[in-house]
C-alpha cells in the first residue's frame, strides 16, 4: 500500500482528489493538509511514502515543503500546480522534488505518477519539460536579485537593508531599477515574476 499525504489550500480540490485516490486499491491517503506548515508537520509525523503538494499554498509553498520534508524523512514529493512555469520547475528539481505535473491531469494519471514516484522513478510532465528548455535570462543584476530574495516574504526596506548591509536609500534605488526593468509596479510583483522565471 502506498501511503500518500495531500496538501492543497483549496478544500474542494483536496477532498475530491483524496476521495478519488482512495478508490485505488494500492493507495492509502493518510493525511489531507490545508497549508504548507500543516503538510510539513504531518509528513514528519507520519512519514508517508509520497507527498502530493500544491505549489501555491499560503505560508510555505509546495517546493519549500518538499525541501524540508525530503531533508528529514525518506518521503518522495510530487508538486502539482495550475501554472506550470519553467522557472518553477527548475526550482522544484533543485529542491529534491521527484515529480512535477499540472493540475489539469486526471486522478487516474495522478495515481499512475504516484506509483512511478514510489517505485523510485522521476516524473516531469512533458509540456512543462518542453517549456523548461527555453532559456530565460534574468535582466537583473546579482545585487538586484539579492534584494528580491531578501524581500520575498514582504520584508520592509529597512529589514532588507540590514540583512544585506546596505543603506535603505540604496535598497530603494535598486528596487526602482528592478521595477523599471521588469515593467511591474510593486516589489511583490517583481518577486513573483523572478520566482516563476527561476531567477531566485
Per-residue pLDDT of the chain (200 residues; tens, 9 = 90+): 999 999 999 999 999 999 999 999 999 999 999 999 999 999 999 999 999 999 989 889 999 999 999 999 999 999 998 766 667 777 788 888 999 988 888 899 999 999 999 999 999 888 767 666 655 677 889 899 999 999 998 899 999 999 999 999 999 999 999 999 888 899 999 998 888 777 88
Which residues of the chain does CATH 3.40.50.2300 include?
A: 2-132
State how far Cα 133 lies from the chain centre: 19
Q: Give the CATH number of domain 2-132.
A: 3.40.50.2300
CB 98 within 8 A of CB 125: no
pTM of the model: 0.70
* Nearest 10 degrees: Cα torsion 106, 111, 113, 116: -160
Residue keyed to cell 537583473: 140
d(CA 67, CA 162): 27
The third-level CATH classification (topology) of the domain covering 142-197 is Arc Repressor Mutant, subunit A (1.10.10)
Can you tell me the distance from the alpha carbon of 191 to that of 79, in angstroms, rounded to the nearest whole number? 20
Amino acid at each position: 500500500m502506498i501511503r500518500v499525504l495531500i496538501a492543497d489550500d483549496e478544500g474542494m480540490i483536496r477532498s475530491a482528489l483524496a476521495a478519488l485516490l482512495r478508490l485505488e486499491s494500492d493507495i492509502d491517503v493518510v493525511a489531507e493538509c490545508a497549508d504548507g506548515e500543516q503538510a510539513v508537520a504531518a509528513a514528519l509525523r507520519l512519514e508517508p511514502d509520497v507527498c502530493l503538494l500544491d505549489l501555491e499554498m499560503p505560508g510555505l509553498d509546495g517546493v519549500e515543503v518538499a525541501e524540508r520534508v525530503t531533508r528529514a524523512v525518506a518521503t518522495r514529493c510530487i508538486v502539482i500546480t495550475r501554472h506550470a512555469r519553467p522557472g518553477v520547475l527548475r526550482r522544484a528539481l533543485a529542491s529534491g522534488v521527484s515529480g512535477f505535473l499540472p493540475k489539469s491531469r486526471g486522478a487516474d494519471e495522478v495515481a499512475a505518477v504516484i506509483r512511478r514516484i514510489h517505485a523510485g522513478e522521476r516524473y516531469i510532465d512533458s509540456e512543462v519539460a518542453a517549456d523548461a528548455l527555453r532559456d530565460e535570462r534574468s535582466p537583473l543584476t546579482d545585487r538586484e536579485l539579492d534584494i528580491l530574495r531578501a524581500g520575498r516574504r514582504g520584508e520592509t526596506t529597512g529589514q532588507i537593508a540590514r540583512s544585506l548591509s546596505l543603506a535603505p536609500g540604496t535598497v530603494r534605488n535598486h528596487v526602482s531599477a528592478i521595477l523599471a526593468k521588469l515593467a511591474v509596479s510593486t516589489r511583490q510583483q517583481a518577486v513573483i515574476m523572478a520566482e516563476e522565471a527561476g531567477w531566485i
